[in-house]
Structure 1
Amino acid sequence: MAELSVLKANFHHPFLVSLHFSFQNKDKLYFVLDHLNGGELFSHLQKEKHFSEARTRFYAAQIASALGYLHENNIIYRDLKPENLLLDKDGYLVLTDFGLCKEGMTPNTLTSTFCGTPEYLAPEIILKKPYDITVDWWCLGSVVYEMLYGLPPFYSKDHNEMYNRIVNEPLKIKRSISNASTDIITGLLQKDKTKRLGSKGDFNEIKDHEFFKAIDWDKLLRREIKAPFVPRIESETDVRNIAEDFVKIKINPASLAPQNLAMTQRDHDFVDFTYVQKNPMAS
């Protein structure tokens, strides 16, 4: 229900996936979301190894705007990663999957749940310390780094080793990027959250950074900036940009759904789940 609540609040932002309908039967819960067949940012990054600074900036600006909107509505995201960022037909990014979001997070609110994706966890989460919305800016720094270099900043196949690197090892940045790129990555990946870029002014502090000097934020929100890359899409049913593993997933009929879902519904946990967006086909 928390994810449904966040989805209901977010359909006014151009870089957050929109919920059109939600409904249920006795076995399953259903979300009807935007159809986005431009592929995961992760897939495109895997294919191209890394992005140019201009393309990275274009994507990072949209991510920052989306996170800023969530924070403005007292929501912490907590699971930013390339797999949760989808491209639309125009080459713009859309943030999806609000399963780990938490509402009621004002700038001074702390929480302590250990959650997220290992490669992108902020040090304070790994150390099981109370944390705030600035963990989202750490994640942004990790994703910006990955877009420029091809891997997350402290990556290791061994999670324990990776956690040790995130908490204890200094950030290593190659000289192949601009000073502005170096500075924003360094600022976002501050291990001390009180010194992290975004800790003082949240999104406004991010958008004013030199790295985003070339971004016209009003035009970006109106989607008037030409995307540096537009995925090849020939029709609404074109799935060439979607990972084959997802395309091959068989639909699980409602009759085969786990029995415990029906039991929770009887407990009235999902009594208000059904939702219809106003003018759902207009957007």
Structure 2
Amino acid sequence: MEPKEHLHSKKNGTSCEILTQLMHHSFYSAEMICGLQYLHSRGIIHRDFKPDNVMLSSEGHIKIVDFGLAAEGVFDKDTITGRIGTFAYMAPEVIRGKEYNAAVDWWSFGITLCEMATGQFPFHEENCLGEVTRSILKDQPTYPDWISNKLHHLLQKLLKKKACNRLGINGNIREDPFYESIDWEELENKSVSPPFQPEAQSSEDFKDCRMTTLQFLQERVTLGNYILQDFSYQSPGWQA
């Protein structure tokens, strides 16, 4: 399994730079939360939430894309089955072939947030699929010792093996201390300026390949090359 280098946020830097990175992580992940909660409120489970399915719009806002594996009509205590998704982001209950609900998206969000903030997968990354499976099912997630306590505690709550204990299903994720700086109403109304606003590019820039995603979080990235032209989901509150 290849390392997720495209999400790496460097740990080195001044305290001011580190604080800025944390603010960026909280902003972008908060927009992801808004998107997932919007979907779940309408009975939609994405089932393939991962960095490649999160994009940056021309305005600098997060967009969730690719609903090819999504399940519809799943509300409240409803459950479904199906070993569907991208393996590294699958929740334990999906890997085990058990019934599941929207908690699987919160597990995938936790993996994505960990990679976004640390550049590391929180379980053992081995070439052997069996070892990766064992690690996801049995091991506790591990993180670099330099991450903040608030982020560490948030990830611990998102990556609970038991779905019923997972934040997002168990508790209000918007009230987590990691998001204490977020004004959720202003965020949903697009009243908060994104940390980055890419410049629009011509359609020729997107002709030959699909846009890579979340690369704006890398150090010294050129955002002008990463704009979303068409996307699959946009919260009504984020429409111009």
TM-score, shorter chain, exceeding 0.5: yes
Where 1:152 maps in the other structure, the secondary structure is: coil
| Cα distance, 1:127–1:62 mapped onto 2, change above 3 Å | same
Where 1:60 maps in the other structure, the secondary structure is: helix
Amino acid at match of 2:57: D
TM-score with structure 1 setting the length: 0.65
CA contact (8 A) 1:118 1:159 kept: no
| 1:167-246 superposed matches below 5 A | 167-201=137-171, 205-231=172-198, 233-237=199-203, 239=205, 245-246=209-210
Deviation of residue 56 (structure 1)? 1.3
Superposed CA RMSD in Å reads 2.2
| 1:22-171 superposed matches below 5 A | 46-47=5-6, 49-50=8-9, 52-154=21-123, 155-171=125-141
> Structure 2: how far apart are the matches of 1:48 and 1:136?
19
> Structure 2: how far apart are the matches of 1:234 and 1:132?
38
Deviation of residue 238 (structure 1)? 6.1
Q: Which residue of 2 aligns with 1:258?
A: none
Where 2:109 maps in the other structure, the secondary structure is: helix
> Structure 1: how far apart are the matches of 2:156 and 2:150?
10
User: CA offsets per residue over residues 235-279 of structure 1, 9 Å max, x none?
Assistant: 34362xx696448xxxxxxxxxxxxxxxxxxxxxxxxxxxxxxxx
Instruction: Note the residue ranges of structure 2 that are not aligned, 5 or more in a row.
Output: 11-20, 212-238
> Structure 2: how far apart are the matches of 1:190 and 1:234?
40
Deviation of residue 108 (structure 1)? 0.5
| Cα distance, 1:55–1:101 mapped onto 2, change above 3 Å | same
Deviation of residue 234 (structure 1)? 4.4
| Cα distance, 1:144–1:48 mapped onto 2, change above 3 Å | closer
Instruction: Note the residue ranges of structure 1 that are not aligned, 5 or more in a row.
Output: 1-44, 248-281
| Cα distance, 1:58–1:74 mapped onto 2, change above 3 Å | same
| Cα distance, 1:224–1:149 mapped onto 2, change above 3 Å | same
| Cα distance, 1:243–1:121 mapped onto 2, change above 3 Å | farther
Where 2:55 maps in the other structure, the secondary structure is: strand
Deviation of residue 72 (structure 1)? 0.6
Task: Determine which structure has more spread, i.e. the larger CA radius of gyration.
Answer: 1
Where 1:80 maps in the other structure, the secondary structure is: coil
Amino acid at match of 2:63: V
CA contact (8 A) 2:158 2:166 kept: yes
User: CA offsets per residue over residues 206-254 of structure 1, 9 Å max, x none?
Assistant: 11111111011111112222222333x3434362xx696448xxxxxxx
> Structure 2: how far apart are the matches of 1:142 and 1:172?
11
| Cα distance, 1:47–1:83 mapped onto 2, change above 3 Å | closer
CA contact (8 A) 1:120 1:142 kept: yes
